[in-house]
Each structure stands twice: as C-alpha cells, then as structure tokens.
A and B are shown apart, each in its own frame.
Chain A
C-alpha cells in the first residue's frame, strides 16, 4: 500500500524557515517523480514543486522560486521541502504527492504551515 506521511509543519514567523519531510513507503520511491502541492485555508490546490527520480531536474511555481528548495533522499525514501524567507501567503496545508500516469496519483495527509507573527 502506498503511504506518504508529511511532517515538519508548524508556526513560524515571517522571514523564518521550515523544512518539511515526506516519508514514503509501499512503492519504489526512486522510480517516481515527486511533488509538493499546497492549499491555503479555504482555497484551492496550488502546485509548488516537482523533482525527478534522481533529483537532476527540479521545477517550482514562480511565487516560491529562490525561496523554496525541493530535494529527495532515495536511500531514505524521503522527500523534502526547505522553505526560507517565509511569507504570510505561504500559510497552507502542504501535501506530498507521487506523480504517476501524468497525474498526482497518491497524496499524503498534509502538514499545516502557518506563517504569522
């Protein structure tokens, strides 16, 4: 059974940093693109970042370029999102998702990031 479990969310002040983690199990992690998708309170889904199987390609939504870094450790079956210079508008539930069949095939339960003073 595919499982994605996010962690690392919490309350952080504007300008601060946070590192999200996603522990994957139930599939060969190193064989799949992985993504982060976020959802601000009461709002829709927003794709944040993608990373290729070997980490050689990474893509970001414009609003987080230069501030967020997606990475992965295939030996640990883990996906990460390093978030720096956080802003109030980054407040959201962040979901880890496995990309498959050109879709976001599996999702974690999400971790809430709140940026507030």
Chain B
C-alpha cells in the first residue's frame, strides 16, 4: 500500500487531454513539493515535473503539474502514443525528515 494514492489506470485517445491525480496528507504533499516521473516500458523513471509545476529542460509543455492542499495533479495534453507509460508522483514525508514517498503509479493507455 503506497503512501500516496493514484488511480491505477487512465486512458484517452491521441490528441486528447488526460489528468492523473495524486492524493496524500498534511505530512507529505500538504507540506512539501510534489514531483512527477514517467517510466516508459523497460526503462528507468525520468523526472517530468518538479516543485509542483516546473518542467526540467527538454520536457515539452504538454506536461503540466499543479498542487492544491494535500493533492496534486499531472496533466498531459495532445496525447501521443509515445506517452504510454507508468506515471508516478513523489514527495517527502515531513514527519520523518528527508524520507521519500511515492504513489502507486498510474498506467496511461493512449487508445
């Protein structure tokens, strides 16, 4: 059972928009920045979003992040078949100092 809660799967058609939610508590998301990771099949995770809504260089602006209270959301617009992957949210546990926590992951299917 993961500390952060994500839907197991989401799906949408190419060109459409999808959102992935991540729910936590005041001891993690509520008091820390959220990051998002993309894991393509058979590869290592890659940072997509950091500090709630910032994109590392090279990440297209089709990917966006937001946070409100104890929840965060990843948005992907203009879906492409290459976006099919597992997506994970992550943050830190305020009550346990510098301990990382992740969501259980969401499998995105581009129909």
Contact = CB atoms under 8 A, between A and B. Distances in A.
A108 interface: yes
A101 B51 CA distance: 7
Contacts of B103: 44
Contacts of A57: 98
A45 B96 CA distance: 18
B30 interface: no
Contacts of A37: 45, 100, 102
Contacts of B99: 47, 50, 59, 61
Interface in B4-61: 32-33, 35, 37, 39, 44-47, 50-51, 54, 56
Interface residues on A, range: 20 to 34
The interface residues of chain A, by DSSP majority, are classed as: strand
Contact of B44 (A44, A59, A61, A108): A108
Interface residues on B, range: 20 to 34
A10 B103 CA distance: 27
Nearest to A97: B45
Contact of B105 (A33, A45, A104): A45
Identify which of B44, B56, B86 gathers the most chain A CB atoms within 10 Å of its CB: B44
A104 B2 contact: no
Nearest to A108: B44
Contacts of A95: 44-45
Given A45-B90, A47-B101, A95-B45, A103 B96 contact: no
Query: Nearest 9 CB-CB pairs, A to B?
Result: A47-B100, A103-B35, A103-B50, A44-B105, A107-B44, A45-B102, A101-B50, A102-B33, A44-B104
Interface of A: 33, 35, 37, 44-47, 50, 57, 59, 61, 95, 101-110
